[in-house]
Every structure is written in structure tokens, then in C-alpha cells.
């Protein structure tokens, strides 16, 4: 039996005055939703998802279902990192589905995932976007509790993602590594013992076409402490990978990349610090 069998269901819709509101919401521990904040300048609703418990425990089963309607715009974030604790037995599983209608916008940018030593965690993400929708989805990963000198000590970590546009599969990815296996890859790539990662998927409406300057501007953000890679998807978007030497460079680099993308995607001008 699951320790927590929690769920979060959110539905965002656009009112006649153009503001986005939560049409419906339902949640059960360990999920909780703070009071949404409407940013009039970015014309986007900011929603913070809070975990009032210590973190994710063995045999937790979590389900997240988010729907954004036509012309609605919502950004989801978290106030703190998500910690996956040591598990004497079993694993924890999180399944999340995001559905965005044509003309809708969804940004999902939580704080990093921090797998503790001896943890086992699986996350399954499915994104269904209609043609004309916009999506900016980010996963961030730290190697563990660096302050406790507990890096790369998890037992298993599996992060799966599927992206469909108008029902057509355009991206499927899976990270399935032990802590030791990913440590070897990070150090072989020259990123160091405290390397952190971000994986972003960007879906844009058809009217936003290819832009060579975007790749150049993102490439110019690179330093010895931050590597970025941008690849086009089969349809209407890009895949962005970030590898940073430590959590500070991951945060600053990812926010700098978000600012570059905001020149093309105005919704990304939303200040994530507002609550």
C-alpha cells in the first residue's frame, strides 16, 4: 500500500476579460496549492504547488493532471526543491499529465529534484499540446544533498517524458540511471562532481518560425561552468539541455536561457519570484 496516494487536478480557463482563472482544482496530500497570482504584464496566472510534507517517501504514488484551455495562460512552479528520501524497500512513483488547448500556454518550472542516498524514484510525464499551443516544461536535477556530501548516492532514478502535438508523438525521452552511473557520465563530460542538469521542452505556435539568432544567443550564455544545447523538435519547438557545474550555475544559467526565450515567448517574462 502507498504511504501517500496523492493527487492534484487543475483546470485553467480564460475569462471574457482575458484573465486566466482556475476553473477547478482538487488535491490531496502531499499536494497543496497556494493562492494563485495574476500577472497583468505577462498576462499569465502563477500557481505554486507546495508539498507540506518533508518530501517523497517509499511507496508514495502521486498523480498530477493539469489542463489549460484555449487562450488561457498558466505558470506552475514550486517554492522549494523536491526531496526523495532514502527507501528501505520499494520505490516512489509520480505520474503527471499536462494538456494544453490551441491558443493556450503552460509553463512548468519547479525547483530541482534532489534524490537522497538509497532512494528509488520514477517520474512519468506526458504532455499533450494542440497545434497553436505554447509549452515550456523544465525538469531540474541535483546530484543529491551536496551539503551532506551525499552526491550520486541514489539507487535508481527513472525520468520518462512523452510529448504529443495534435496527437502525434514528437518526442520521447528516458533517463534511467543509478547515481554512480550518472556520476561517471558527468565527470567524463568535464562537469565535475557536483554537476546539475536541466531538461526543457519548448512548444511554440506555428507562426513562431525558426530563428538562427535564438541558437546563437543561447550559445553565447555558455561558460566553463555551464553547457547548453538546443535541438529542434519534429514539430513546432525545441529541446533544451543544460549541464552546470553546481546548483548556483544551474539556476543562473537556466534563468538566463529563459530570458533569451522570453524575447520570442512573451509569457516567459513572468517574474517567478512573485507569489
Q: Which residues pair with 150 in a beta bridge?
A: 145
Q: Which residues pair with 243 in a beta bridge?
A: 197, 227
Q: Which residues pair with 94 in a beta bridge?
A: 62, 123
Nine-digit cell at 139?
Answer: 525538469
Residue ranges of E strands in the chain: 5-14, 20-28, 32-33, 37-39, 44-50, 61-68, 73-77, 82-84, 92-100, 105-108, 113-115, 120-129, 134-141, 144-145, 150-151, 156-165, 168-177, 196-203, 226-232, 237-244
Structural domain boundaries of the chain? Answer: 5-269
Inter-residue contact 94 to 125 (CB < 8 Å): no
Nine-digit cell at 206?
Answer: 506555428
Contact residues for 165 (Cβ-Cβ < 8 A; gap 6+): 129, 130, 131, 133, 203, 235, 236, 237
pLDDT of residue 238: 93
pLDDT of residue 215: 86
pLDDT of residue 149: 83
Q: Can you say how many angstroms the Cα of residue 57 is from the centroid of all Cα atoms in its chain? A: 20
Q: Which residue, 52, 160, 142, is CA-closest to 97?
A: 160
pLDDT of residue 1: 46
For each of the chain's 275 residues, which pLDDT tens digit applies? 456 789 999 999 999 999 999 999 999 988 999 999 999 999 999 999 988 677 899 999 999 999 999 999 999 999 999 999 999 999 999 999 999 999 999 999 999 999 999 999 999 999 999 999 999 999 999 999 988 888 999 999 999 999 999 999 999 999 999 999 998 888 877 778 899 999 999 999 877 766 778 889 999 999 999 999 999 898 789 999 999 999 999 999 999 999 999 988 999 999 987 55
pLDDT of residue 189: 73
Peptide bond into 30 cis (omega under 30): yes
How buried is residue 74: exposed, middle or buried, by Cβ count under 10 Å (0-12/13-18/19+)?
A: buried
Please report where in the chains the cell 495534435 appears, as a residue: 166
Q: Which residues pair with 24 in a beta bridge?
A: 11
pTM: 0.95
Nine-digit cell at 255?
Answer: 534563468
Beta-strand relationship, 5-14 and 61-68: parallel
pLDDT of residue 209: 65
Q: How many whole angstroms separate alpha carbon 54 and alpha carbon 35?
A: 21
Q: How many whole angstroms separate alpha carbon 244 and alpha carbon 252?
A: 10
Inter-residue contact 44 to 105 (CB < 8 Å): yes
Identify the DSSP state of 39. Answer: E
Q: How many whole angstroms separate alpha carbon 181 and alpha carbon 100?
A: 35
Amino acid at each position: 500500500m502507498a504511504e501517500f496516494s496523492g493527487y492534484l487536478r487543475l483546470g485553467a480557463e480564460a475569462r471574457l476579460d482575458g484573465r486566466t482563472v482556475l476553473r477547478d482544482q482538487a488535491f490531496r496530500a502531499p499536494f497543496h496549492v497556494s493562492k494563485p497570482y495574476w500577472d497583468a504584464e505577462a498576462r499569465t496566472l502563477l500557481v505554486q504547488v507546495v508539498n507540506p510534507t518533508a518530501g517523497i517517501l517509499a511507496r508514495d504514488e502521486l498523480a498530477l493532471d493539469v489542463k489549460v484551455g484555449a487562450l488561457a495562460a498558466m505558470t506552475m512552479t514550486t517554492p522549494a526543491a523536491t526531496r526523495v528520501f532514502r527507501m528501505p524497500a520499494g520505490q516512489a512513483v509520480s505520474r503527471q499529465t499536462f494538456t494544453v488547448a490551441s491558443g493556450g500556454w503552460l509553463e512548468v518550472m519547479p525547483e530541482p529534484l534532489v534524490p537522497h542516498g538509497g532512494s528509488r524514484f520514477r517520474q512519468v510525464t506526458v504532455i499533450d499540446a494542440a497545434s497553436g499551443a505554447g509549452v515550456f516544461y523544465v525538469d531540474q536535477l541535483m546530484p543529491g544533498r551536496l551539503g551532506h556530501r551525499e552526491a550520486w548516492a541514489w539507487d535508481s532514478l527513472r525520468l520518462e517524458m512523452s510529448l504529443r502535438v495534435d496527437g502525434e508523438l514528437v518526442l520521447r525521452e528516458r533517463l534511467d540511471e543509478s547515481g554512480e552511473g550518472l556520476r561517471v557520465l558527468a565527470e567524463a563530460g568535464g562537469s565535475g562532481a557536483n554537476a546539475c542538469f536541466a531538461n526543457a521542452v519548448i512548444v511554440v505556435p506555428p507562426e513562431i518560425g525558426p530563428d538562427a539568432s535564438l541558437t546563437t544567443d543561447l550559445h553565447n550564455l555558455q561558460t566553463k561552468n555551464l553547457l547548453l544545447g538546443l535541438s529542434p523538435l519534429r514539430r513546432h519547438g525545441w529541446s533544451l539541455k543544460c549541464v552546470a557545474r553546481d546548483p548556483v550555475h544551474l539556476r543562473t544559467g537556466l534563468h538566463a536561457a529563459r530570458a533569451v526565450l522570453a524575447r520570442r515567448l512573451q509569457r516567459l517574462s513572468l517574474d517567478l519570484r512573485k507569489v
